[in-house]
Structure 1
Amino acid sequence: MGPDAVPRARVDALLAAVPARDPETSRPESLARAERQRRRWATQVAVADELARRECAARGLKVPPEAPAERLLTVAGNDVADLGSIVAAALAHSAAARVLLDALEAERAVPETDVRDYYERNQDRFLTPDALRRGVDPFEGTVPDDVLPYESVREGVLRELRRAAGRRAFFGWLDLARSAVVYAHGHEHPGDPAHPDHEHRH
């Protein structure tokens, strides 16, 4: 990252906060490989944090004090599944990343037609409690009273679609921002096929 390189201490702090996974084997070469991958993973989280800090500064966004690295221990499993482990950890660790994600989400415009279309295509998500108790099949045999009215769920659907759009924008921003990063040897992305023990795991 040029003269503004991320200090090694920030990577070390992340490594200290997140315990290593139990190795599949106790062979020294396997343990060394696991530790290399852990450092590459932590580097990606630290880089995402630094890039988010710079982007927030460029946008004039106020960032609250940083959360302690220990917050990484509480990353939810469904967030890892939805976002990937690096982005989920970056959002858990980095106040700047969360502020930026919120800003990107707020910028998303969701057309009313998209909200209505989502409601119409996902009627199974909007069955009334009575319909659920009766075991109504949402894909056939429903009557209007079996489904919550559009007006009562519209705001929730809008929030969900805007959140998804904000996440897509965050992914796009991060991919572009990381494309200019130069990594020190041993700190490359853990899924980088340029090194022999790469892996891509979420």
Structure 2
Amino acid sequence: MVTDELARRACADRGLKVPEEVSPVSVLAVAESDVADLGSIVAAALAHSPAVRTLLAALEAEQTVPESAVRDYYDRNLDRFLTPDALRRGVDPFDEAAPGDTLPYDEVRDHISRELRTAAGRQAFFGWLDQARGAVTYSHGHEHPGDPSHPDHEHRH
């Protein structure tokens, strides 16, 4: 709830229109791999808060990924771009790969750029959230469970 409220305020400050939820019980599914990458609190906020989704999308859209970063990612991760045939043959992309064993850079460039923009947007979101949460003061007895700054950080609500 705190993350949702902080995101609503940030969206208002940025002039972003937050879509109304169709149903208060509707839940957006968040992929398990995203939960692992995002953490359970952010994943829950994304699943339940249109404001969080709007803010994250805006932060992702603001990111610029230089061409050199995209190319560097491709060159360092050739194993991700093996062709199906090369995978079946067990080709090592860093040792014995022939020129046709990896997908051409031009074919995967846009996909890599989107992945890097998404990662940069998430990093910007985490930075924003850490800063925004730092300014929150909880009422006594309603501190965040697990907050190590609270003397009773193992309490439950």
Q: TM-score by structure 1 length?
A: 0.71
Structure-2 residue corresponding to 1:9:
none
Structure-1 residue corresponding to 2:33:
78
**Structure 2: how far apart are the matches of 1:142 and 1:172?**
39
**Structure 2: how far apart are the matches of 1:54 and 1:69?**
22
* C-alpha RMSD over aligned residues: 1.6
Listed as ranges, the matches of 1:72-111 within 5 Å are 74-111=29-66
**Structure 2: how far apart are the matches of 1:192 and 1:171?**
17
Do structure 1's residue 170 and structure 2's residue 125 form an aligned pair? Answer: yes
- How high is the sequence identity, in percent, across the aligned residues? 70
Listed as ranges, the matches of 1:9-158 within 5 Å are 46-66=1-21, 68-71=24-27, 74-158=29-113
Report Cα offsets for 1:148-197 as digits up to 9, x if no partner. Answer: 00000000000000000000000000111111111123322222122334
**Structure 2: how far apart are the matches of 1:143 and 1:168?**
36
Secondary structure of 1:188's partner? coil
Deviation at 1:140, TM superposition (A): 1.2
Shift of the 175–154 alpha-carbon distance from structure 1 to 2, 3 Å rule, reads: same
Deviation at 1:110, TM superposition (A): 0.5
**Structure 1: how far apart are the matches of 2:31 and 2:116?**
21
Q: Choose from 104, 107, 115 the match for 1:160.
A: 115
Report Cα offsets for 1:6-42 as digits up to 9, x if no partner. Answer: xxxxxxxxxxxxxxxxxxxxxxxxxxxxxxxxxxxxx
The amino acid that maps onto 1:59 is R
Range that drifts further, 84-93 or 177-186? 177-186
Deviation at 1:93, TM superposition (A): 0.7
Q: Which has the higher helix share?
A: 1
Q: Choose from 146, 151, 154 the match for 1:195.
A: 151
Structure 1 runs not aligned, ≥5 long: 1-45
Secondary structure of 2:27's partner? helix
**Structure 2: how far apart are the matches of 1:51 and 1:120?**
39
- Aligned residue pair count: 153
Ranges of 4+ aligned residues in structure 1 off by more than 4 Å: none
Secondary structure of 1:71's partner? coil
**Structure 1: how far apart are the matches of 2:126 and 2:25?**
22
Deviation at 1:69, TM superposition (A): 4.5
The amino acid that maps onto 2:151 is H
Q: TM-score by structure 2 length?
A: 0.90
**Structure 2: how far apart are the matches of 1:145 and 1:80?**
35
Deviation at 1:98, TM superposition (A): 0.5
